[in-house]
Amino acid sequence: MKTIKIRQVTALSLFSIYLIVKICFAISIVYVTRTNEYYSTTQKYLYLLDAGHGYAGTDCNNKSVMDTETGECFYEWEFNWEVREMLSKKLDSAGIKYVWVNTDKKSDLPLLQRAKKVNKIHSNLKHILISIHANAAPKDADNFETASGFEVYSSDFNRDGGYPDKKQFSDTIAKYLYEEIEKSFPEHTMRKSSRTGSYKEASYTILSSTDCYAVLSENEFFTNRVIRKQMKTQNFKRRVATAHFNAIMRLESK
């Protein structure tokens, strides 16, 4: 009888230990999950991601180009949206919150409307707008099929009513993004400003008519047939997204 009781007590003890371990494990999972959520809310900035241009129809217009070899049309909006989706997944993994500026693939939200939409977004964090594009040379230009390189832009003036340091800090963001793209694409040309030595400045609507910090990237020329082949690959788009992600993480650690 004593042997049976000892076995029963031992079994109950082991089962109790098992339950305690399971409960502690469950608590730790909840704690880790809550900790990750907590850290995700302590980010420094809210990122507003703009995929340059929206759906513009199936005709090859000035935001797309027909590939004479394949008979396929390269749509800039499609490239921009895919890069933004890749960037978003990286931010999700890092617990960084963001907002998509344009969300309708069936229309191209006009620039002034985009700017107004950006200015209506409110949160307790300062906003950083990143507008993702692909470049194109004019159809009548001598370098229509040969132009190449990446560009990053900041606004060329400080908008009244926006953040007081909008121009200064937007320049810093543009410099970080330029440097990260340069690291990701050492074999490509970086088209730079002679004044800054890196990013350029322009009065593009999405930069100058928005109140928050804002930068714009032009990620190679899709009118260049050789470059376009690269741009169509997942690897190229992933490298573009990674460069933008790395710039964001630099800002978060600054």
The stretch 15-36 carries a mean pLDDT of: 37
Backbone angles phi, psi at 181, to 5 degrees: -65, -40
The per-residue pLDDT for 60 is: 80
In what helix (H) or strand (E) does residue 219 lie, and over which residues does it extend? strand 213-221
Give 102-141 pLDDT, tens digit per residue: 988 888 889 999 999 999 999 999 999 999 999 999 989 9
State yes or no: pLDDT of 37 exceeds 90: no
Backbone angles phi, psi at 100, to 5 degrees: -80, 130
The per-residue pLDDT for 27 is: 33
The per-residue pLDDT for 129 is: 98
Give 191-222 pLDDT, tens digit per residue: 999 999 999 999 999 999 999 999 999 999 99
In what helix (H) or strand (E) does residue 247 lie, and over which residues does it extend? helix 234-253
The per-residue pLDDT for 56 is: 60
The per-residue pLDDT for 134 is: 97
- Cβ–Cβ under 8 Å, residues 220 and 231: yes
> In terms of pLDDT, which residue wins out, 68 or 25?
68
| Mean pLDDT, rounded, of the chain | 85
The stretch 47-66 carries a mean pLDDT of: 82
Q: Which string of DSSP letters, residue by residue, matches 156-189?
A: SSPPTTS-TTHHHHHHHHHHHHHHHHHHH-TTS-
The per-residue pLDDT for 102 is: 93
What are 34's two structure tokens?
């809550």
The per-residue pLDDT for 125 is: 95
The per-residue pLDDT for 152 is: 98
150 residue type, one letter: F
Would you place residue 34 in the very low, low, confident or very high pLDDT band (cuts 50, 70, 90)? very low
Q: Radius of gyration over alpha carbons of the chain, in Å?
A: 25
State yes or no: pLDDT of 156 exceeds 70: yes
Would you place residue 162 in the very low, low, confident or very high pLDDT band (cuts 50, 70, 90)? confident
- Distance, in Å, from the CA atom of 110 to the CA atom of 120, rounded to the nearest integer, reads 16
The per-residue pLDDT for 86 is: 98
State yes or no: pLDDT of 9 exceeds 50: no
- Distance, in Å, from the CA atom of 125 to the CA atom of 209, rounded to the nearest integer, reads 20
Would you place residue 29 in the very low, low, confident or very high pLDDT band (cuts 50, 70, 90)? very low
State yes or no: pLDDT of 98 exceeds 60: yes
The per-residue pLDDT for 57 is: 64
Window from 33-42, 75-84, 137-146, 230-239 with minimum mean pLDDT: 33-42
